[in-house]
Amino acid sequence: MAGEAHRKRLRALLRLAGVRVAGDLTLVEQAFVHESFAKEHGGSSNERLEFLGDSVLGAIVAEWLFANFPEEPEGRLTLRKAAIVNDAQLADAARRIGFSDLVQLGAGMRNAGGANNTSILADAFEAFVAALFLRYGIDRARTFVLEGHVDRLDHDPEALLDAKTRLQHFAQEHLSATPSYREENRGTPQAPSFDSCVIVDGKTLGTGSGPSKKAAQQAAAEAALRTLLAAEPSSKRRKK
């Protein structure tokens, strides 16, 4: 999509953020320029906007969580934030809103299915948030993030992220560590059964069993999360 048709779609998108008079669209257009397009056609990509948008998005979501979950400790707020701002969730929102038709890609990247690529769409979402912030202010960015994304989610963390992903986010945020898993097969081909243990920062924090490696790992991750969250109020762990 190019030219006036593209700008018409951008104006419609801006109305979702409460922008009625769009004015100059240069910055908004840049939010959808992938590096592959910039390399082929010249100009700037959306990478710098994506960098800023990541922080603006995080601040908006953190503020919303702080206000809406006043009884929850830091650790649970961290899990909720991770569930909202992870690439998969942002890309789903971007697809629903129509970013796949707006993102500008190089020929090779487009032919490879880049318009539906999770990372590309998530980056464009963050870049668009930055463009809103810079061009129209924090209130318009907040309106877009909350009404276009946050309000549409089920805010039970378990509905948004599986246990392994939640544990990874928590461990990286609080321990600067990445979980690892060890499995043992105790079943038979007819009745498979696996035991798994998860190790974080050199310590075994959870064990679990299941009919597959994946199920056992999920059970172990759930156990590790219970261990970490139980200890969370009494210790502020190392952060990145």
Known catalytic residue: 72?
no
How far is the C-alpha of 148 from the C-alpha of 135, rounded, in Å? 18
Angstrom CA distances, 176 to 19, 185, 202, stand at 40, 30, 12
The answer to whether 114 touches 36, Cβ cutoff 8 Å, is yes
Known catalytic residue: 54?
yes
Q: What is the DSSP string of the chain?
A: --HHHHHHHHHHHHHHTT-S-----HHHHHTTB-HHHHHHH-S--SHHHHHHHHHHHHHHHHHHHHHH-TT--HHHHHHHHHHHHSHHHHHHHHHHHTGGGT-B--HHHHHTTGGG-HHHHHHHHHHHHHHHHHHH-HHHHHHHHHHHTGGGS---HHHHS-HHHHHHHHHHHHHS---EEEEEE-S-SSS--EEEEEEETTEEEEEEEESSHHHHHHHHHHHHHHHHHHHGGG------
Catalytic residue among 50, 123, 126, 173: 126
Catalytic residue among 24, 35, 40, 54: 54
Structure tokens at 207: 């064990």
Structure tokens at 149: 């994304």
Question: Could you list the active site residues?
Answer: 54, 126
